[in-house]
């Protein structure tokens, strides 16, 4: 079984605490993403699972086995690094065969498995090519094949797509998810890219300053963020501070403070829920404002509207007729309903 359990994990580097009191259960066969900004502890936890470093406190279990003190080669875990870590003096097929040789498989088994995973990542015909002669995307595929060839219980991915250009990254994202689904392998993916996390994951854990702030499905984390940090890090949001001081400065804040139990809290309003029109409407909240910026992105159009001295962002489908006629400098009305409000901890 490829279930990974972290119990009360803690790691220090001198006086700096890299992660604290981490408790996670990563189910067998799931694609589980560690999401957070640089320095939040997500890569440290990945390296702890791989066995490259050891925790100062806590336990790591793989299935029913406690692997906390085992060496990396004893854990049956594969890892793909951000820089791929391929052997430049070896050919493509030799890189893929490397882990199998370390496992002392038979020559026939090594050949069979290496060819299988070479084909699985779409590199047939390139087996004799030097890895230095490959493109970034091809090198990435070799790194995946090498890690998969040893048929690990768990695959660890440390920001493996970050060095690719945007279009290739989109293609590799789909390819990686296809492979993971096909093999049913437990996969732990580290990224700071919210799009990767939302589109690929079965479960997401959001990290900040060495702590796990929230876990859940992409839908749960996006639609019901635990606090203002998660709301801002997962997707775009309009974040309003609601307290007695802001109520003195903003008519909207005063109305929100009266209508909601949110004193001392933040209120999140996702940009796609804010409607922009040239005429007022009967929504729960409707404010007159001025368009300060407009950005056409093909599928969507983004408007920045200042209303009640607050800058609101609205994102709507470009096919919406009203988006074409609204111009920068124009007076408009923004509106949203009470159900669009999310009250959050600071």
Kindly state whether residues 210 and 81 are assigned to the same domain.
yes
Q: What are the φ/ψ torsions at residue 336 (nearest 5 degrees)?
A: -160, 160
CATH number at residue 252: 2.40.50.100
CATH number at residue 37: 3.40.50.300
Q: What is the pLDDT of residues 83-109, one digit of tens each?
A: 778 888 889 999 999 889 988 899 999
What pLDDT score does 28 carry? 95
Kindly state whether residues 49 and 128 are assigned to the same domain.
yes
Please determine, for residue 247, whether its predicted confidence score (pLDDT) is greater than 70. no
Domain assignment of residue 175, given as a range: 4-227
Q: Computed from CA positions of residues 269, 275, 281, 287, in that sequence, does the dihedral angle turn out positive or negative?
A: positive
Residue ending a domain, among 205, 227, 249, is 227
Burial class of residue 14 (count of CB atoms within 10 Å of its CB; 0-12, 13-18, 19+): exposed
Kindly state whether residues 21 and 167 are assigned to the same domain.
yes
Kindly state whether residues 180 and 312 are assigned to the same domain.
no
Q: What is the pLDDT of residues 143-170, one digit of tens each?
A: 888 888 888 999 999 988 887 777 878 8
CA distances from 154 to 30, 108, 146 (A): 10, 25, 14
Domain count, the chain: 2
What pLDDT score does 30 carry? 96
3-state secondary structure (DSSP) of residue 201: coil
Kindly state whether residues 39 and 153 are assigned to the same domain.
yes
Kindly state whether residues 217 and 307 are assigned to the same domain.
no
Kindly state whether residues 9 and 122 are assigned to the same domain.
yes
Residue ending a domain, among 227, 256, 284, is 227
Please determine, for residue 192, whether its predicted confidence score (pLDDT) is greater than 80. yes
Instruction: Write out the E strands in the chain.
Output: 4-13, 16-26, 31-35, 57-62, 65-66, 77-80, 154-158, 186-191, 203-208, 211-216, 238-242, 265-269, 275-277, 285-296, 300-307, 310-317, 331-336, 342-344
Question: What does the pLDDT average to over 211-224?
Answer: 95
Kindly state whether residues 209 and 323 are assigned to the same domain.
no
Kindly state whether residues 279 and 207 are assigned to the same domain.
no
What pLDDT score does 33 carry? 97
CA nearest 103: which of 157, 136, 149, 49?
149
Residue ending a domain, among 175, 207, 227, is 227
Average pLDDT, the chain: 90
What pLDDT score does 23 carry? 97
CA distances from 4 to 16, 50, 92, 152, 280 (A): 26, 11, 31, 13, 53
Neighbours of 87 (CB within 10 A): 12
Kindly state whether residues 19 and 137 are assigned to the same domain.
yes
pLDDT band of residue 321 (cuts 50, 70, 90) is low
pLDDT band of residue 248 (cuts 50, 70, 90) is low
Question: What does the pLDDT average to over 293-308?
Answer: 92
Kindly state whether residues 186 and 314 are assigned to the same domain.
no
Higher pLDDT, 260 or 111: 111
Kindly state whether residues 118 and 32 are assigned to the same domain.
yes
pTM of the model: 0.87
């Amino acid at each position: 079984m490829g279930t990974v359990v972290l119990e009360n994990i803690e790691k220090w580097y001198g006086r700096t605490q890299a992660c604290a009191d981490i408790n996670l259960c990563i189910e067998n066969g799931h694609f589980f993403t560690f999401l957070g900004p640089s320095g939040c502890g997500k890569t440290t936890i990945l390296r702890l699972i791989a066995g490259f470093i050891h925790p100062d406190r806590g336990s790591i279990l793989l299935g029913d086995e406690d692997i906390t003190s085992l060496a990396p080669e004893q854990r049956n875990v594969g890892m793909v690094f951000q820089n791929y870590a391929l052997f430049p003096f070896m050919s493509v097929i030799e890189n893929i065969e490397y882990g199998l040789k370390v496992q002392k498989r038979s020559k026939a088994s090594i050949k069979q498995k290496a060819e299988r995973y070479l084909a699985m990542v779409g590199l047939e015909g390139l087996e004799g090519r030097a890895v230095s002669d490959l493109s970034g995307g091809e090198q990435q595929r070799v790194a995946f094949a090498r890690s998969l060839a040893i048929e690990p219980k768990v695959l660890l991915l440390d920001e493996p797509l970050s060095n690719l250009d945007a279009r290739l990254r989109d293609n590799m994202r789909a390819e990686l998810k296809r492979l993971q689904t096909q093999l049913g392998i437990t996969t732990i993916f580290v990224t700071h890219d919210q799009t990767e996390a939302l589109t690929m994951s079965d479960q997401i854990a959001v990290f900040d300053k060495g702590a796990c702030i929230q876990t859940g499905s992409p839908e749960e984390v996006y639609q019901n963020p635990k606090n203002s940090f998660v709301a801002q890090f997962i997707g775009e949001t309009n974040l309003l501070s609601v307290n007695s001081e802001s109520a003195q400065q903003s008519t909207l804040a005063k109305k929100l403070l009266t209508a909601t139990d949110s004193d001392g809290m933040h209120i999140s309003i996702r940009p796609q829920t804010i409607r922009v029109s040239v005429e007022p409407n009967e929504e729960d909240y409707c404010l007159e404002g001025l368009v300060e910026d407009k950005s056409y992105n093909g599928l969507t159009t983004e408007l920045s509207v200042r209303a009640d001295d607050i800058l609101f962002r609205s994102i709507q489908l470009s096919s919406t007729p009203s988006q074409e006629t609204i111009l920068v400098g124009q007076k408009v009305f923004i509106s949203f309903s009470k159900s669009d409000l999310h009250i959050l901890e600071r």
